[in-house]
Amino acid sequence: MHSHAHPHTHHDHDHEHEHTHEHPHEPAHEHALVHGTPVAIERDILAKNQLIAERNRGWLAGRAIVALNLVSSPGAGKTTLLERTIRDLDGALPLSIIEGDQATLNDAERIRAAGGRAIQLNTGTGCHLDAQMISRGLDALDPPPHSLLMIENVGNLICPALFDLGEQAKVVILSVTEGEDKPVKYPHMFHASSLMVLTKTDLLPHLRFDVERCVRYARQVNPGIEILHVSAQTGEGMQAWYAWLHARCQAGT
């Protein structure tokens, strides 16, 4: 990913450093401090999160549970994909779900209405789930051994990329209504994900969305990313998604 970083980024970065060193007592230094302090706090938070994430990963591995962290922007279609998956698989894969949203129980209720097991976590002001929340969620949900756990993260393409939950893989859902440039605009999320599910493909006839360019962008930030094309509405491509899930479970449980 970094090999594709834009020259402007490097230039600005270097410039800021030069500026800070050359004029340590001028406003530019304060400017640097304002930027530095949150970074230090973030480092501590991430380090603590990482420890708990590793504990979750051990707990899950001990029970042969495959956990996937589903990330996307709001409304990309995560819950719809899960609802259809539950209905179509109809118990063929033991599946439970942790739903993350800032507020409401809506998504967990939708999952239960589709016949799935789910608990809802609300993050309040938070823009992502963290490993501690998942640890408590696992206690409450108690997913059975040799099962699949789907964690639907809070909808946004930024914060959830930073926080390991102890999952086996991140799956990024991108809907065709969002524009094909999202992988290069939010590269961290696409870099961190093992699979990109390009969804709402039933809407393609109504849009100017260049699928090939989107795929190219995704591979630009993550050459190894797997890509599936689905519509949770028409069912197109869903068999490949189920095959991917089965393969993950076979390898991991």
Ligand X SMILES: Nc1nc2c(ncn2[C@@H]2O[C@H](COP(=O)(O)OP(=O)(O)OP(=O)(O)O)[C@@H](O)[C@H]2O)c(=O)[nH]1
Binds ligand X (CB under 6 A): choice among 56, 194, 199, 222: 199
Binds Mg ion (CB under 5 A): choice among 69, 72, 73, 79: 79
Please say which residue, 73 or 193, places its beta carbon nearer to Mg ion. Answer: 73
CB 199 within 8 A of CB 174: yes
Q: What whole-number distance in Å separates Cα of residue 172 and Cα of residue 183?
A: 10
Please say which residue, 28 or 169, places its beta carbon nearer to ligand X. Answer: 169
Binds Mg ion (CB under 5 A): choice among 107, 130, 167, 178: 107
**Count of chain residues binding Mg ion (CB under 5 A):** 3
CB 86 within 8 A of CB 148: no
Q: What whole-number distance in Å separates Cα of residue 232 and Cα of residue 214?
A: 19
Can residue 76 be called a binding residue for ligand X (CB under 6 A)? yes
Task: Pick one of ligand X, Mg ion, none as the site partner of residue 76 (Cβ within 5 to 8 A by kind).
Answer: ligand X
Can residue 193 be called a binding residue for ligand X (CB under 6 A)? no
Can residue 153 be called a binding residue for ligand X (CB under 6 A)? no
Q: What whole-number distance in Å separates Cα of residue 67 and Cα of residue 170?
A: 9
Q: Look at residues 215, 234, 214, 236 and name the one whose alpha carbon lies nearest to residue 226.
A: 215
Q: 3 is written with which tokens?
A: 């090999």
Q: What are phi and psi of 169, to 5 degrees?
A: -160, 150
CB of 152 to ligand X, least distance (A): 6
Q: Site residues (CB under 5 A) for Mg ion?
A: 78-79, 107
Q: Site residues (CB under 6 A) for ligand X?
A: 72, 74-80, 107, 155, 199-200, 202-203, 231-233
